[in-house]
Amino acid sequence: GAGVSQSPSNKVTEKGKDVELRCDPISGHTALYWYRQSLGQGLEFLIYFQGNSAPDKSGLPSDRFSAERTGGSVSTLTIQRTQQEDSAVYLCASSFTGHNTEAFFGQGTRLTVV
Amino acid sequence: GQQVMQIPQYQHVQEGEDFTTYCNSSTTLSNIQWYKQRPGGHPVFLIQLVKSGEVKKQKRLTFQFGEAKKNSSLHITATQTTDVGTYFCAPYGGATNKLIFGTGTLLAVQP
């Protein structure tokens, strides 16, 4: 595609429900990142996929968070039993490699837990 | 882990004034990238610095990488209202092997 696509753009969910956020990276990009950004805050690293390597999950805040990347392309971030503190914008980025090329960001998914 | 501080956290300038943000790492970096995030938008890549002491310019923006490759700066000359946003550095190397971001500097420009 032309850019990194994320869906949905907005999601309102009730506390305790599970949510799935989707990221469709730029074709050919082997690296894929998920970040969380709370209002007025910085970019909190969540998880990093690079090719066929095991993902770097060191940023996931709790075991309620998980992510997968199927076929080296689309990625899904799942949050189970959502809490109000999970409310934030979730940003996905992809790049040709992990560290020395430009990362392209999607528009993000704004998650609101009520 | 790697500590990446950006200063200042926030700066308010009058249009036409200069602006500088600094990114400081506790470890030696392989390279550093800079991104800009407009209000309500997503981060957009500005530049990458790789060499010790490197200086790159993009119109009114000047980017520097320190001689020891532990710090970097972004300087904007004669700010304009279009410069409003948050500027993030993204260092790579040392203790990290992934793209992480500094704390960011929010720039407000008063016309």
Q: Which two tokens stand for residue A110?
A: 């704004």
Which of A56, A65, A102 lies closest to A86 in space, CA to CA? A65
* B48–A102 CB contact, under 8 Å: yes
Q: Assign residue A61 a region (left: φ > 0; alpha: ψ between -120 and 50; beta: otherwise).
A: alpha
Judge whether residue A60 has pLDDT over 90.
yes
* A99–B42 CB contact, under 8 Å: no
Give me the CATH number covering residue A89: 2.60.40.10
Check CB contact of B40 with chain A, cutoff 8 Å.
Answer: no
Mutate: best of B54, B99, B101, B107, partner A, most A CBs <10 A: B99
Check CB contact of A42 with chain B, cutoff 8 Å.
Answer: yes
Please tell me the predicted confidence (pLDDT) of residue B96: 63
Check CB contact of A38 with chain B, cutoff 8 Å.
Answer: no
Please compute the mean of the pLDDT values over residues A86-111 and round it to a whole number.
92
Please tell me the predicted confidence (pLDDT) of residue B1: 47
Q: Does the bond joining A8 to the residue before it have cis omega, within 30 degrees of 0?
A: yes
How many other β-carbons are positioned within 10 Å of the β-carbon of residue A62? 11
Chain B nearest C-alpha distance from A65 (Å): 19
Binned at pLDDT 50, 70 and 90, residue A71 comes out as confident
Binned at pLDDT 50, 70 and 90, residue A98 comes out as low
Regions in chain B scoring below 50 on pLDDT: 1
Q: Which two tokens stand for residue A26?
A: 């730029």
Say if domain B4-110 classifies as CATH 2.60.40.10. Answer: yes
Please tell me the predicted confidence (pLDDT) of residue A34: 98
Residues 6+ apart with CB under 8 A from A29: A94, A95, A96, A104
Judge whether residue A91 has pLDDT over 90.
yes
Q: Find the closest chain A residue to B103 by CA distance.
A: A42
Domain count, chain A: 1
* B45–A98 CB contact, under 8 Å: no
* A99–B92 CB contact, under 8 Å: yes
Binned at pLDDT 50, 70 and 90, residue A99 comes out as low
* Beta-ladder partners of B21: B74
Please tell me the predicted confidence (pLDDT) of residue A1: 54
Query: What's the first-to-final CA gap in chain B, in angstroms?
Result: 40
Question: Which DSSP string do the residues of B22-81 spell out, in sequence order?
Answer: EEEESS--SEEEEEEE-TTS--EEEEEE-STT-EEEETTEEEEE-TTSSEEEEEESS--G
Q: Classify strands A10-13 and A109-113 as parallel, antiparallel or unpaired.
A: parallel
Judge whether residue A110 has pLDDT over 60.
yes
Please compute the mean of the pLDDT values over residues A107-114 and round it to a whole number.
98
Judge whether residue A11 has pLDDT over 70.
yes
Check CB contact of B98 with chain A, cutoff 8 Å.
Answer: yes
* Rounded (10°) CA dihedral A22, A28, A30, A32: -30
Please compute the mean of the pLDDT values over residues A77-84 and round it to a whole number.
98
Please tell me the predicted confidence (pLDDT) of residue A63: 97
Please tell me the predicted confidence (pLDDT) of residue A40: 84
Across A1-5, A59-63, A88-92, A105-109, least confident range: A1-5
Judge whether residue A67 has pLDDT over 90.
yes
Task: Break chain B into its structural domains and give their ranges.
Answer: 4-110
Residue A103 structural domain:
5-113
Percentage with pLDDT > 90 across chain A: 85
Phi, psi of B83 (to 5 degrees): -85, -5
Check CB contact of B88 with chain A, cutoff 8 Å.
Answer: yes
